[in-house]
Structure formats: structure tokens, C-alpha cells
Amino acid sequence: MRIVNWEKFVLEFVSIFIAVISAFALNNWNENRKDSITENKILIEIENGLEKDIEDVKINIGGHNSGISACAYFRKAIAGNNVKADSVMIHFFNLTRDYISIQNIAGYETLKSKGLELIKNDSLRSEIISLYEYDYNILRKFEEEYSEMQFQDNYYKDINNALAPNFKIDNNGMIIGINSPLIINQNERNKLLLHLSRIESNRFFILQYYAAIEKKINNVRKDIHLEIKH
């Protein structure tokens, strides 16, 4: 009769069990480590993109503020107040200038391809998704699709027709001054003032949204820095 060495059997079983569990745990640790490294790389890529986005936001904010200054300049000219002749050309350029919204989305697209759940921090993941999927899309639509914001298409022709006869142009075709007061009839004057009011109010509107976007971008960048340090 064969006698089973239960002590040896149990010892071998436990050893095999521990080896399997250890191998599984090591494999799981390696996978988590790889995911953590990938997560950090993508977060750094997103943060670098956001840094460039901030630069573009600041450029557009400056441009819209210049457009508002142009409205004030031509409102003074229409009222017959003295304006600086040497700045008429730049103000005319800025008056109806449109802007586009440029977003550096390479990092976010990489994240989507790897799976959004790669970002373990639920709050940070929600912030990133909201910024790219909602806030950036709204900003792009405002700048590039919203009819009220298409200043060149909506106002340039009328403004140019009214102002062109009042420009002083040198032999090189450069605008060097403007009549003061403007030589325009009452209907043209009223139309110009209404156009300036619409341009100004819409630029103030988009500036408010830019301020909110800038704050959100900086918050996401700050939270990414905190997440990477962990």
C-alpha cells in the first residue's frame, strides 16, 4: 500500500501557489508601472500643448483688445475729435480683423487612442475631457463660425466705403492720415457708429470667454504638475 506524504504534497502545492501568485502580482505590477509611465508621458505632452495654447489665447486676447481700441479711435474720428494720424492705418487693420482658435491637441488625441481611463485621477481626467471636448469647441465655434464674430465679412465693406474717401494716402499707397472731422452724411455716420458698437460689444463678449478659458487651462496645467509629482 502506497503511503502519501501529505506534508510534502502540501508544501509543494503551497510553493507552486505562491510562485503563481507572485508571478501574477509581478506581471500586474509591471503592467501598472508601464501604464503609469505612459500616463506621465501623455500628461507631459498635454501640458506642453497647453503651454502653447496659452500663448495663442494671449495673442487673440491682445488682438481683440486692439480691435476695441480701434473702435474707440474711429468713434472719436466720427465725432470730429482729433486723432493721431500716424496710427490710422494700424487701427483700420485691427478694426475688423478676425481670429482663429488654435489648439494643440496631439497629447489629448494620444490619450484618447490609449484610452481615457489611463488617467487614474478621476477629477483630472474630467477636467481634461471638459477642456478639449467642450470649452475648446465652443471657443472655436465663437471665433470661426458664429456669424456675429465674423467682422471682416459683416462690416468691412460698409466701413471701407464710408472711410476710404476720408483717408489721406501718400504716393506709395500708404494711409497716412484721415479727415477730421470725417466728411460723411448722417446715414453713413449712424451706420458706422452702429457697426462700431456691434464690433466692440462682440469683442468684449469673446474676451470674457477667453478669460474663463485661460483660467481653466492654467488650472489643468497646475493639476497635471501635481499629478506628475505623485
Average pLDDT, the chain: 87
Going by C-beta distance under 8 Å and a sequence separation of 6 or more, which residues neighbour residue 206? 64, 142, 143, 149
- pLDDT tens string 142-196: 999 999 999 999 999 999 999 999 998 888 888 888 887 888 899 999 999 999 9
All cell numbers assigned to 111:
490619450
- Residue 60 binned pLDDT confidence (cut-offs 50, 70, 90): very high
pLDDT tens column, 195-229: 999 999 999 999 999 999 999 999 999 999 998 86
Report which of 217, 229, 222 is spatially closest to residue 104, judged by C-alpha positions: 217
**Predicted model pTM:** 0.83
Q: Are 143 and 101 in contact (CB under 8 A)?
A: yes
Positive/negative CA dihedral, 157, 158, 162, 168: negative
**Nearest one of 82, 16, 57, 20 to 215, comparing CA atoms:** 57
Q: Is 127 exposed, middle or buried (0-12, 13-18, 19+ CB in 10 A)?
A: middle
CA distance 16 to 92: 82
